[in-house]
């Protein structure tokens, strides 16, 4: 696994924790906590790895027992951002709560321009917030101060035009990790043959959250254990075969394969982070 991507994942793990626990997790991986920021239910961790001159801005994902997190997820209507396109209203609104505090911190921090590469990251909802934060940075003239993004299990976040706008700035430097049958990466729905058929037969189909697209390069984690096999932008046939294999291997395990594959622990094991 790419070392920078691995450190991004560790920062994403730390983002779920309080300052003490986050510091302990980061120290185990030669990283240090630079900032723990929280506004409402939105939480962000900034971690630094001095040896590689890297800084990670990690957004926390959904906490299963946090009602406000689920309200953010369910606000799945697309809102129009001038000059950019349509964006998931819940994710964009949540990221916006931290935009000014984060930018103020970074601008007021002498290390911001000290040569550290800055990577924006997150797991689950945190990945979606990371993508929205990237758009906010670019639209406010900060795109040259951030080097890329690495997300894990991120849902779709943008409409067609916003996705193109994002990829124009960050498409080549965004790694979007998908673990086998992770169901969260398949929602909100995109445009497909099935969606077009449903549109014809379901009343008020236009009210459903559809028309979403992913951004960046897909880093697909195959269902074969360690050492991990990670395929960049796999074709549909490769995805189909491996996802069938993943469901077969999951038979007999508790829970549903799609939800199991989304958890941080499963990503940790599938990518062999601890190896």
> Tell me: the pLDDT tens digits for 161-210?
999 999 999 999 999 999 999 999 988 765 554 455 555 555 544 445 56
What is the arithmetic mean of pLDDT over 35-56?
Answer: 91
- What are the CA-CA distances from residue 36 to residues 19, 91, 120, 227 (Å)? 6, 20, 14, 33
Is the separation of the CB atoms in 157 and 87 below 8 Å? yes
Confirm whether 15 is domain-assigned.
Answer: yes
Stated pTM of the model: 0.89
Residue 65 — pLDDT band, cuts 50, 70, 90?
low
Confirm whether 145 is domain-assigned.
Answer: yes
Q: 153 by DSSP, 3-state: which? A: coil
The domain in which residue 100 lies consists of 3-270
Cα separation, 28 vs 24, whole angstroms: 7
Identify the CATH number of the domain in which residue 166 sits.
Answer: 3.40.50.1820
> Which of 6-20, 205-219, 249-263 is least confident?
205-219
Tokens of 44: 């962000």
Residue 154: pLDDT over 50: yes
H or E element that contains 220: strand 217-221
Residue 256 — pLDDT band, cuts 50, 70, 90?
confident
Cα separation, 79 vs 97, whole angstroms: 16
Residue 84 — pLDDT band, cuts 50, 70, 90?
very high
Report the number of distinct structural domains present in the chain.
Answer: 1
Confirm whether 275 is domain-assigned.
Answer: no
């Amino acid at each position: 696994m790419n070392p920078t991507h691995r450190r991004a994942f560790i920062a994403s793990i730390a983002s779920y924790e309080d300052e003490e626990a986050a510091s302990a997790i980061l120290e185990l991986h030669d990283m240090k906590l630079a900032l723990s920021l929280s506004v409402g239910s939105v939480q962000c961790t900034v971690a630094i790895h001095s040896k590689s001159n890297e800084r990670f801005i990690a957004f926390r994902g959904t906490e299963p027992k946090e009602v406000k997190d689920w309200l953010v997820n369910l606000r799945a209507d697309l809102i129009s951002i001038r000059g950019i396109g349509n964006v998931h209203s819940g994710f964009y609104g949540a990221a916006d709560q931290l935009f000014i505090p984060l930018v103020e911190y970074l601008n007021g921090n002498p290390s911001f321009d000290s040569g550290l590469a800055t990577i924006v990251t997150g797991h689950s909802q945190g990945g979606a917030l990371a993508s929205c934060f990237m758009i906010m940075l670019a639209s406010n003239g900060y795109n040259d101060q951030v080097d890329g993004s690495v997300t894990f299990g991120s849902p779709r976040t943008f409409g067609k035009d916003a996705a193109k706008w994002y990829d124009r700035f960050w498409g080549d430097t965004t790694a979007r990790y998908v673990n086998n049958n992770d169901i969260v990466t398949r929602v909100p729905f995109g445009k497909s043959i099935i969606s077009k058929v449903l549109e014809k037969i379901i009343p008020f189909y236009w009210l459903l959250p559809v028309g979403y697209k992913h951004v960046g390069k897909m880093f697909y984690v195959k269902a074969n254990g360690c050492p991990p096999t990670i395929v960049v932008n796999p074709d549909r046939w490769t995805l189909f075969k491996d996802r069938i294999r993943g469901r077969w291997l999951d038979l007999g395990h508790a829970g549903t394969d799609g939800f199991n594959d989304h958890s941080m622990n499963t990503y940790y094991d599938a990518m062999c982070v601890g190896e």
